[in-house]
Structure 1
Amino acid sequence: MLPTAHRPSSPRPSSSRIAATLIVRNEERCLARCLDSVAPFVDRMVVLDTGSTDGTVAIAKAAGAEVHHLAWPDDFAEARNHVLACADADWNLMLDADEWISAGGEDLRRWCSGPPRLGAVCIENSVDGSAHPTRSWLPRLLPRGAYYEGRVHEQVISSLPRANTPIHVGHDGYLSAQKARKIDRNYRLLERELAAQPDNPYLLFQLGMEAQARRDLPTACDYLERALATAPRDAGWRHPLVTSAMTLMTYMGRRDEALALADAEFPHWPQSPDYFYVLGDILFDRALADPAQAIGHWLPLAQVAWERCLAIGERPDLDGSVAGRGSYLAQQSLDIVRSQLATLAA
């Protein structure tokens, strides 16, 4: 539990001052981009430096941010709570240096004029080798009194309801050039958290995703399967957990398990183009492995799955969704399977 002295203060009447809050270390590559994108929409920018040895601090000051310092505590929640206390604002837009506001900033003040709630912003994550970002909805617009728990992949603690905001944020921290220096750190911190909470499904999910990024696919699969066993049905991150596990099992040749998982999850994702897109991939993979039943069974089922994607359309509101799975990516896959069926039938 966070010590009371380090928690942001309780809500109080005020004129709704908005602060952008960041924790940084050696971010001269991208910090100016982040601060320039948010400066027009907030009253203050508050940066907590945790030991930079490059030009980060000078860049932050030149952009108009106030800079505070804290020795890195090896705990993201502690650092985020510290910068929230430094800001002491009515609303805090929590950003990372490798992020930037790409849309919706002009609606920030209007949204903050409403009742206190946790504001989820759409993080659009650039991915190596793909022009299609993955989308995560994370509570980043926090009213006074909300705080964080968790050494890494920290989560917001508040009894307030959560609502999506119009704000979209670009993120390039998952590209390999940026990810390399963070991946071992995050994995180590997650392992420490899991040692204290060995059955926490969220930690298991995050470890699975980190193991996949390290290309340790058997370990990733194990963590994701353990997470699936106890993940709450209503957890916002269950959607990327399911689609990631289905994809990874298929990639590893575990076709029967991937299909069994897809069958079990079928009733729960009737309006997810991502689920049906990955299901189509599983069925197409089965067709390649079982050509005797390809034309009469597997390929027609894959066609139905990808047609369902187009019927649903894009769902950017779903956590972990991938742009295009409800439109052009599904159409491309559908064109391929229709061509295969026409060729095999000729």
Structure 2
Amino acid sequence: MTQLSVCMIVKDEEALLSRCLESVKGIADEIIIVDTGSTDRTKQIAENFGAKIYDYVWSNDFAAARNESLRHAVGKWILVLDADEYLGSNDHSKWIEFLQKEKPEAHLAYTLPVINFTGEKDYQEEMTTAPVTRLFPNFKGIHFERPIHEQLTRGGKEKLLHKKISLEIYHTGYQLQRVTEKSKHERNMSIFNEMKKANKLSAYDWFTLGNQYRFGKEEEEALQCYERAAKGATAKEAWYSHCLMGLISLYFKNGRLDSSWRWTEKELYKYKNFSEYHTIKGIHFETLGFFDDAIASYLEAINTAEQRAKRNQDIWLVDPMYSFETPVQQLVDIYFRLNDNQQAIYWLSKLLNKNNRNPKVLLKLAEWLCQNEEPAAIIGFLDKIYDVRNEAECNLLFKISLVLGQAELVNYYEKYLTTLDNINILDQFRYVILTDKKEEWMSLPIPEVNNDVDWKLQIWVQMVVGALKWNSPQRLREITRILDHDDITQLTSIVEKLFFENSSVEEGLLKHYSSSLFLVSKQLFLIKEFEKFDQFIQLCKSPGIINQLANYFYTLNLTDMAMNYYSILLSQKELDFNSLVNLGLFHANQGYYSDAVEFLDEAIDKQPKAKHLYYSLIQHAAREQKQYFIDKFNLQFPEYGGISFVHNFFNNAKKT
């Protein structure tokens, strides 16, 4: 007997169809392909996998095309897939066991989690999940309705129930490249427009139309659709929580925190047994400067996920990121802001233990450790997380060590690498500078020029560091000509005048290029060229560079160095916004509240829209000042005063 029929509709899917069909080999007894007009190799690929292929004239109706595929299926079970979806290669035994044991019921279809990879490029793994009903028994009258985002039905008054199962489908169809390639947005909108004209949109249709508008960057229209969908449905609908999260996140993104909080309190609260509710609360608290409340919410989100995991329940409601990665990342940021470095490093370590291949987390953790711990202690710590005998893991550690200019770490990890031939040209320059190989620095081949300005700037920084280290401006000029970029040419001219010609440079130029010049000073500091570093700072004495250095040292817990630079800037009245914020929060954390208020007040004079600062200002201000800062907040954010926790805070502040 035919156990499983995989039913698909396709058009011009040669890029992805093989992956999909390969993923169902071994569990699919037949593959039904309904082709709606392919002009590429789609049919040939399907034939190679033994699929039964049926031509179908596209009628702007997905349900009709789906039903055509069902009409040809003879299996006991039907699984519906798209070409940009696939099954996990290690899940086949679970599928086979389920299909053999489960009894087909006429009233029952099965909802599976679809894991969506939404990064803009193939190697980016931003992930969300969505429940989709794709598996159901054949010959029970179950079929599709609705021309877009089609849904299963039994027809008439016969109700179809949906049962959640843990078998997973993976999906990459909404990656930006694929959406552009297939013009899905334009195609889907044409179907929605026909449905709107016919007045055939259900609450679910309004939700999916909101998604479509959001993909098309038409966010106000998306919000209106989400609102309409949410008001026409209940929490019993499988898609309702996704609609809520879409609505809340979009309101939040557009700065409408009063609306995003209202929906969080009113509706997302119904899902308080999931991490999403607590993480979203924490993000609202943090955005408005209520850091202690944010910390409590993030910890509750993590704890909620852990408890659900222990009970073998679904760990997340909509997005796995909200159950661990997002709350932990936010905790790290808050703890660093509050100078609680121990807690920040603890949670960074937890994040790295969960995914040790995340280079951003490793870089942030290693950068802090390198300025606060001895190399032997750092190596010992990382050895507990990584296996240096694993080439990929050792390569990652080696590269991070190069980026951070840590010679001891580079030498340690180099011993475990079989070759350095595969490191890119930028890392080659870093390596020869760090290992003091001037001749190799002079003779490395000129890097291939591309149009990535950031890449050119990184190459330029290494060339400047080498030129200053070995007093070799000629090589810098040579690379500058090859890089062929106006800003880099101007930057080289600045460096040459200051360091090799003993000439002066206009203050305006130093200010304009302060961010790029800061990168040079930072690299000199990291590789411990302290004499050159001091010389660089003396010659490029620009408030822009000094502010960036002070803030950089502050984030690395090099407080004494940061305060020395802050003192210089304070005496010159040149503290920028970030410096004022750091000094304000630092003094608040130390209990020097009047100084904290002075710095934070000056910060909001520079940036009145910095909404996260008002809480600390009002909290630490003298009693006679509190109303002044409350009024200042209300002037900038008149709509936020009605947010429940803000309203309560203001009322309590007036009484103290």
Q: Which residue of 2 aligns with 1:345?
A: 589
Alignment RMSD, CA only? Answer: 2.0
Is 1:312 the counterpart of 2:304? The answer is yes
Greater C-alpha radius of gyration: 2
Matched position secondary structure for 2:40: coil
Aligned twin of 1:7: none
- Is 1:333 the equivalent of 2:330? yes
Structure 1 residues 76-113: Cα deviation after superposition (integer angstroms, max 9, x where no partner)? 00000000001132211100000010153322232223
Trace 1:172-321 onto structure 2 (pairs within 5 A).
Answer: 172-180=172-180, 181-197=183-199, 200-285=202-287, 287=288, 294=289, 298-313=290-305, 317=314, 321=318
TM-score by length of 1: 0.87
Q: What are the residue-to-residue correspondences of 1:36-51 with 2, within 5 Å?
A: 36-51=22-37
CA distance in structure 2 between the partners assigned to 1:186 and 1:143 by the alignment: 28
Cα distance in 1 between the residues matched to 2:275 and 2:197? 36
Whether 1:146 and 2:142 are equivalent positions in the alignment is yes
Superimposed CA distance per residue, residues 162-205 of structure 1 (whole angstroms, 9 cap, x where no aligned partner)? 22233211111010111121111112212322333466211111
Q: Residue 157 in 1 paired to residue 176 in 2? A: no
Instruction: Return the alpha-carbon distance in structure 1 between the equivalents of residues 280 and 160 of structure 2.
Output: 34
Question: What SS class does the counterpart of residue 45 from structure 1 fall into?
Answer: strand
Larger mean CA deviation between 316-325 and 40-49 belongs to 316-325
- 8 Å CA contact retained: 2:305, 2:316: no
Cα separation, 1, equivalents of 2:30 and 2:315 = 31
Query: Higher helix fraction: Structure 1 or Structure 2?
Result: 2
Among residues 107, 110, 127, which one is paired with 1:119 in the alignment? Answer: 110
Q: Secondary structure at the match of 1:166?
A: coil
Aligned amino acid, residue 143 of structure 1: P
1:90–1:319: structure 2 CA closer, same or farther, 3 Å change rule?
A: farther
Which amino acid is 2:66 matched to?
Answer: R
Q: Distance in 1 between matches of 2:137 and 2:78?
A: 6
Specify whether residues 256 and 74 from structure 1 end up closer, same or farther in structure 2 by C-alpha distance, changes over 3 A only.
same
The amino acid across from 2:255 in the alignment is: G
| Residue of structure 1 aligned with 2:126, choices 132, 135, 142 | 132
Distance 1:224 1:183, change over 3 A: same
- Aligned position for 2:14: 28
Superposed CA offset, 1:263-306 (max 9, x none): 11253011221232223222222x2xxxxxx2xxx222222221
Any conservation in 1 of the 2:244–2:268 contact (CA below 8 Å)? no
Q: Distance in 2 between matches of 1:266 and 1:100?
A: 31
SS across alignment from 1:202: helix
More strand by share: 1
The 1:69–1:262 alpha-carbon spacing in structure 2 relative to 1, beyond 3 Å, is same
User: Closer, same or farther in 2 for the Cα pair 1:320/1:185, shift >3 Å?
Assistant: farther
Contact 2:281/2:297 (CA < 8 Å) preserved in 1?
Answer: yes
Structure 2, unaligned runs of 5 or more = 340-584, 591-656
Check whether the contact 2:261–2:284 (CA below 8 A) recurs between aligned residues. yes
Are residue 104 (structure 1) and residue 94 (structure 2) matched? Answer: no
CA contact (8 A) 1:49 1:69 kept: yes
Deviation at 1:128, TM superposition (A): 2.1
> Whole-Å Cα distance in 1 between the matches of residues 255 and 55 of structure 2?
49
Give the whole-Å Cα distance in 2 for the aligned partners of 1:253 and 1:328.
Answer: 23
CA contact (8 A) 1:111 1:165 kept: no
The residue identity in structure 1 corresponding to 2:330 is S
Q: Deviations over 1:11-56 (max 9, x none)?
A: xxxx462111110000000001100100211111111111000000
Q: Is the 8 A contact 1:20 1:44 kept in 2?
A: yes
Asked whether the 8 Å contact 1:118–1:139 carries over to 2, the reply is yes
1:39-78 pair list within 5 angstroms: 39-78=25-64
- Larger deviation, residues 160-169 vs 60-69: 160-169
Give how far 1:161 is off: 3.0
Deviation of the 1:256 alpha carbon = 0.8
SS of the equivalent of 1:120 reads strand
Worse-superposed segment, 89-98 or 190-199: 190-199
In structure 2, do the counterparts of structure 1 residues 265 and 310 end up closer, same or farther at CA, with 3 Å as the change threshold? same
Which stretches of structure 1, 4 residues or longer, exceed 6 Å deviation after superposition?
Answer: none
The 3 A distance-change label for structure 1 pair 208 and 247 is same
Query: Which structure 1 residue ranges, 5 or more long, are not aligned?
Result: 1-14, 288-293
- Conserved? CA contact 1:99–1:170, under 8 Å: yes
Classify 1:196/1:278 alpha carbon distance in 2 versus 1 (closer, same or farther; 3 Å).
Answer: farther
% same residue: 25
2: distance between equivalents of 1:88 and 1:195?
A: 37
- Say if 1:57 and 1:165 are closer, same or farther in 2 by CA, change over 3 A: same
- Decide whether the 8 Å contact of 1:126 with 1:175 is kept in 2: yes
> How many Å apart are 1:319 and its aligned residue?
8.2
Deviation at 1:259, TM superposition (A): 1.0
Other structure's SS at 1:89 match: coil
Structure number with the bigger relative contact order (C-alpha 8 A, sep ≥ 6) is: 1
CA contact (8 A) 1:284 1:302 kept: yes
1:194 and 1:278, CA in 2 relative to 1: closer, same or farther beyond 3 A? farther
**Deviation of the 1:61 alpha carbon:** 0.3
Instruction: Give, in whole Å, the separation in 2 of the partners of 1:335 and 1:319.
Output: 21
Which amino acid letter does the alignment assign opposite residue 55 of structure 1? R
